[in-house]
Amino acid sequence: MSGGVSSEAPKDIPQENPIPPNKPRFFLLTLRHYTCLTIAIFLSSIEAVSFQDMAFAIFSISYTIILSKVAFPLINSTPTTRVIKKDSKWLTSYAKVSAIIGLLLPIGYIFGGILEGDKEGIKFAAPHLFLTCCQVFLEGIFFSSQFSLPIGAFVPVFYNTRRIFTLVDWVRDEFGKEGNMCSLWRLHVGRGIAVANLGFWCFNLFGFLLPVFLPLVFKQYHGYKAKD
């Protein structure tokens, strides 16, 4: 998962699939999408996610659908070609790293906190994981032949921007903890995961999605729109 990057990573690593495939398909929902949806529902059920974050997820669905009808409608003549080449080695590596940093490490940290009773750690780590899982699931829907490229690209940009605020809160909480509030190893692990995610997703938004991925998406979309 990379917040806007797809690769041929192993199926057991949850990742996003934001780039349309070569063959026309409807919804790109796979096991990893349903797994992320399950995790998001679980976090909501244990009250680890605030009402604001759940409202954001619901709002994002409604607003994206409105954009798909008003601002960026589907162009029938647009072929389902990839914005970035599928066989790119750096793309594959980038997607795997983002899946590990953005999903697997937070999942391990949160479930470890459940076992150790670290409610404070879960409270600030859960929003990031919840929003990431929602993003992965929605990308399976909006990066499909039923929606235009800009609509699919909007999902990672929208969620990546929101997650930065939750990550800042997570980092602030981790460095505000005292050693006696949790085990020492968990304290250092939590700080490392929080900082790694904040750094990675800031780069993903400001170094990849906005200056690289989004312009390519609009160039391809408006190019085929002009041909229509």
The structure's pTM equals 0.83
Q: Are 139 and 155 in contact (CB under 8 A)?
A: yes
Q: For residue range 46-82, what is the model confidence (pLDDT) as tens digits?
A: 989 999 999 999 999 999 999 999 989 887 655 455 6
In angstroms, the CA 96 to CA 1 distance is 7
pLDDT of residue 6 exceeding 70, the answer is no
Residue type, 10: P
Q: What angle do CA 107, 21, 133 make, to 5 degrees?
A: 20
- Region class of 117: left (phi > 0), else alpha (psi between -120 and 50), else beta: left
Which comes out higher in pLDDT, residue 133 or 177? Answer: 133
Q: What is the per-residue pLDDT for 167?
A: 97
Q: For residue range 115-157, what is the model confidence (pLDDT) as tens digits?
A: 888 888 899 999 999 999 999 999 999 988 888 889 999 999 9
- Region class of 34: left (phi > 0), else alpha (psi between -120 and 50), else beta: alpha
Phi/psi of residue 204, nearest 5 degrees: -60, -40
In angstroms, the CA 149 to CA 46 distance is 35
